[in-house]
Amino acid sequence: MGNGSSLDSSKTIYLSIAGKTEKIVLSRLCGSRDIHDLIAQAAGVSRYSEITLRDSDGALIPISPSMAKNLPSSPYEVTTTTPSLANAGDGEAFKQVLSQVTEQFTQSPNMDMLRVFKVDEMKLDLTNRINVLERRLELEGLKAVEIEKCRRDISDIKYQILNSQKKVIDFNNMRPMYYTGYYSALSDERKISLKRDVPLYPKYTLSQETVNYLKQPTFDIWDWEPNEMLSLLEHMYHELGLVTEFNINPITLKRWLLCVQENYRNNPFHNFRHCFCVTQMMYGMIHLCKLWEKMSREDLGVLLTSCICHDLDHPGYNNTYQINARTELAIRYNDISPLENHHCAVAFKILSNPECNIFANTDKEVYKRIRAEMLVLILATDMAKHKDIVEKLRSLIPNFEYNDSDNVQALKMVLIKCCDISNEVRPMEVSDPWVDCLLEEYFNQSDREKMEGLPVAPFMDREKVTKPTAQIGFIKFVLIPMFETVAQLFPIIDKTMVEPLRIARDRYEHMKETSVPNTSAKKDE
């Protein structure tokens, strides 16, 4: 899939725009923004317009490279919303702030004597005023394009001052002076309340072939549309006995899955399909390792539910960006796993809605345990903790006891980590498109970091990274050692998961050896 030409990997999508069917053809190199702009062009609207796609059942379709193909007979319905410029007062307020700050910097009679504490004072004042206006923008409904324009205006002023007063002010040590993002760091409260209910969530009858296939690590997650993925997740809860274990109302289970789906963003990689991918791998490992013989049903429920919730409302920019850019999330969580803490918060915000609380019928002590375990598991997906988590399990293996809760928790932490980064365990035609999606998200972040003067990780820089360089070290030093550790407890993992990883490593090493120098990075652009 990933090794063919862009023409061979093209995808045709049919759209219904104002009652007329349109066709667009996407190459495998198309990013989410490219697809959005292409749809906007087909609809004859501004590229800054909000675009929503729904299938024939009314389900929301993510605008991303992973969106499913469809047929002319069942086109995606396109709805567009033109950005509003109604709140001109807020725009004027921004202009006033920018004008005043420019005047402060450029007309100071003692510019050459400006002290660092004065610069910091002005920076703090500007930041506070911008934050107040930003909050008004969010509350009063201005669109992303307007916020982005304000951000660019602030950035332009920073650039002008930097070039005119380089000897006096070091702006690299003053970040963040201006608004660092056009997206809200926090989940949209309106998304927490369910937008569509169970009647619009069709019931699928799964064939026995699909039921068996779903348990395999070779499962092709690209073959399934959003509603189908919801039905497959629902099946997992029933098949593992979790609906009975937690006395889950089946309708509540459907509502919860719908609400979770709506709280994943349309990122190239960290989207609802990734959530499904991770959960399906956990479901496969539960069956391969027969974990019900070693763990309680409650443990299995915590594992599966943590996978489903582990990246809720991911903004598409990692913890390093959050911390370096001093985003609202980084400040809220004191630079400690800001994204993972946010995923947990959104997960339990959804569960706080009685219509979506799948654990509503458990007693208080059970719910308390479930919550505590989910927090531990989701926080364990922070790669900054990888070494410590894997080494702890490795140290326990010689005397591992399944009746020891600390031992079992250590295993569960490594299991969710395995599933979270398990794409290379899958067949190449399944794993390869995920690398494209991940690199697209990396490149989006590094481009933004360059624009904002932040440090850029080499593995995210489109000028430096290639597919082989991105994957070889990760497979050799992260994936294989971790899966080999689990294989010491469950030998079947060596054949079904470690061996495919070794094959993937060898394939990328061969790709690196045969690639033409200095051309691979350009191909990925």
Q: Are 307 and 257 in contact (CB under 8 A)?
A: no
- What is the three-state SS of 430-475? HHHHHHHHHHHHHHHHHHHHHHHCCCCCHHHCCCCCCHHHHHHHHH
CA dihedral (258, 263, 266, 270) positive or negative? negative
Asked which of 29-38, 343-352, 392-401 is least confident by mean pLDDT, the reply is 29-38
CA 95/CA 66 separation, integer angstroms: 40
Query: 11-81: what fold?
Result: Ubiquitin-like (UB roll) (3.10.20)
Predicted confidence at residue 100, as pLDDT, reads 55
| pLDDT at 132 (0 to 100) | 54
Report the range of poorest mean pLDDT among 61-65, 98-102, 415-419: 98-102
Rounded Cα–Cα distance for residues 494 and 142 (Å): 53
- Six token digits for residue 142: 């201005």
Q: What ranges in 325-363 are assigned the alpha helix state H? A: 328-332, 338-351
Residue 233: C-alpha distances to residues 248, 265, 354 (Å): 14, 18, 20
Residue 12: per-residue pLDDT: 87
Domain ranges for the chain: 11-81, 88-173, 189-420, 428-524
The answer on pLDDT for 178 being more than 80 is no
SS (H, E, C) 199-264: HHCCCCCCCHHHHHHCCCCCCCHHHCCHHHHHHHHHHHHHHCCHHHHCCCCHHHHHHHHHHHHHCC
- pLDDT of 59 reads 82
Residue 229, judged by CB atoms within 10 A of its CB (0-12, 13-18, 19+), counts as: buried
- The predicted pLDDT at position 168 comes to 36
pLDDT of 51 over the 80 cut: yes
Q: Are 83 and 146 in contact (CB under 8 A)?
A: yes
Q: Mind listing the pLDDT tens digit for each residue in 287-298?
A: 999 999 999 999
Instruction: Report CA torsion sign: 297, 302, 305, 308.
Output: negative
| Contacts with 125 (C-beta within 8 Å, 6 or more apart), sequence order | none
Phi/psi region, residue 99 (left: phi>0; alpha: psi -120 to 50; beta: rest), is: alpha
Count of C-beta atoms within a 10 Å radius of residue 412: 22
Query: Residues 79-95: pLDDT tens digits?
Result: 988 654 444 444 555 55
Best CA proximity match to 148, nearest among 194, 124, 118, 183 = 183
Tens-place pLDDT, residues 248-262: 999 999 999 999 999
Q: What is the CATH number of domain 189-420?
A: 1.10.1300.10
Strand order in the sheet with 76-81: 20-26, 11-17, 76-81, 50-54, 60-61
d(CA 375, CA 341): 8
pLDDT score recorded for residue 214: 97
Query: Active-site positions?
Result: 270
The reply to whether domains 11-81 and 189-420 share a CATH topology is: no
- Return the SS3 of 59: coil
Q: Taking residues 359-370, report their average pLDDT.
A: 97
Average of per-residue pLDDT across 300-321: 98
Tens digit of pLDDT for each residue in 92-128?
Answer: 555 555 555 555 544 444 444 444 444 445 555 555 5
477 vs 54, higher pLDDT: 477
With CA atoms as reference, report the closest residue to 261 among 469, 463, 59. 59
End-to-end CA gap in the chain: 18
Task: State if pTM tops 0.85.
Answer: no
- Cβ–Cβ under 8 Å, residues 502 and 417: no
Dist CA 357 CA 373 (whole Å): 17
Helix/strand number for the chain, H first, E second = 23, 5
Confirm if 292 and 286 have CB atoms less than 8 A apart: yes
pLDDT, one tens digit per residue, over 212-244 is 999 999 999 999 999 999 999 999 999 999 999
The SS3 assignment for 265 reads coil
What's the whole-number average pLDDT of the chain?
81
Q: Which residue has the tokens 């006033």?
A: 96
Non-local (6+) Cβ contacts of 289 within 8 A are: 489, 490, 492, 493
Quick check: 256 and 350 in contact, CB under 8 A?
A: yes
Do the Cβ atoms of 17 and 78 come closer than 8 Å? yes
> CB neighbours of 126 closer than 8 A, spacing ≥ 6?
97, 101, 177, 178
Predicted confidence band of residue 164 (pLDDT cuts 50, 70, 90): very low
